[in-house]
Amino acid sequence: MNLNEILEWRYATKKMSGKAVPQEKVDYILEAARLAPSSSGLQPYRIIVVTDPEIKEKIKPIAWDQSQITDASHVLVFAAWDNYTEEKIKAVFEKTLTARGLPLDRMDAYRERLWGMYSQLTEERHNHHAAKQAYIAFGLAIAAAAEQKVDATPMEGFDPNALDEILGLREMGLKSALVLPLGYRDEDNDWLAGLEKYRTPEEEFIINK
Ligand SMILES: Cc1cc2nc3c(=O)[nH]c(=O)nc-3n(C[C@H](O)[C@H](O)[C@H](O)COP(=O)(O)O)c2cc1C
């Protein structure tokens, strides 16, 4: 199957079977997310992999009681940096330059320009910008899961503050942005399985100029 056929196959699974996703497939999906591009290469987000049934039980009620949270074997939580600081940016740039064997001052001018821009913004805007980067990794994880014939449900339907509390994210300087349960569709009990996929028609969606 090519990528578009894979994307046609996948859907936001509403009922999962409880069957576990093999670890190597989870690792592959996480690697696709790790390889995602991000603004200035900062990767201002982390992925928390929840497999503990007790933690999943705690998350379910604050995620609109969505059954995928407990029926998925792995629940990926995409969490964005709560803010940008000069130190955080410097640390990433230094690691990048070290990995490339380049002088550590090579990106100083760029970093100063970047911080000049970010330092004008509120922490809320920082977190919003960081979360936007997380969405790119999220999209790639969804595609990678589908390529592995693993079902996934993209989720914004949860209380982020409550999830941050359950996972202790505040202490890590993170705020939850998105949740992606991974598992396998329960075709017989999923009302969405087999329904036609609807997308805005191409002629309306694509605007040629
Ligand atoms: C960012 C985002 C958040 C979503 N939140 C939820 C959610 O909380 N629960 C759910 O069942 N589906 C959720 N969806 C699934 C969408 O409703 C679904 O992707 C859309 O209707 C297109 O259908 P398809 O994914 O089945 O092709 C979300 C999708 C995205 C991209």
Q: Which atom of ligand 1 is nearest to the CA of 192?
A: 26
- Could you tell me if the CB of 156 is within 6 A of ligand 1? yes
Q: With bands split at pLDDT 50, 70 and 90, how would you rate the model's confidence at 187? A: very high
- Average pLDDT of the residues in 186-196: 96
- Could you tell me if the CB of 154 is within 6 A of ligand 1? yes
Q: Phi, psi (5° rounding) for residue 156?
A: -115, -5
DSSP alpha helices (H): ranges in the chain?
3-9, 23-34, 53-59, 68-71, 86-100, 108-118, 123-147, 160-167, 202-205
Class of the CATH domain delimited by 3-205: alpha beta
Residue 65, pLDDT score:
98
* CA-nearest residue, atom 7 of ligand 1: 155
The pLDDT tens digits of the residues spanning 84-123 come to 999 999 999 999 999 999 999 999 999 999 999 999 999 9
Q: Which of 156, 176, 196 is the best mutation target for the ligand 1 pocket, counting ligand atoms within 8 Å of the beta carbon and taking the most? A: 156
How many angstroms does the Cα of residue 155 sit away from the middle of ligand 1? 6
Asked if residue 73 lies in contact with residue 150, where contact means CB atoms within 8 angstroms, the answer is no
The pLDDT tens digits of the residues spanning 74-84 come to 999 999 999 99
Q: With bands split at pLDDT 50, 70 and 90, how would you rate the model's confidence at 8? A: very high
Give the mean pLDDT of the chain.
98
The pLDDT tens digits of the residues spanning 153-174 come to 999 999 999 999 999 999 999 9
Domain residue ranges of the chain, discontinuous segments joined by +: 3-205
Q: Which atom of ligand 1 is nearest to the CA of 178?
A: 1
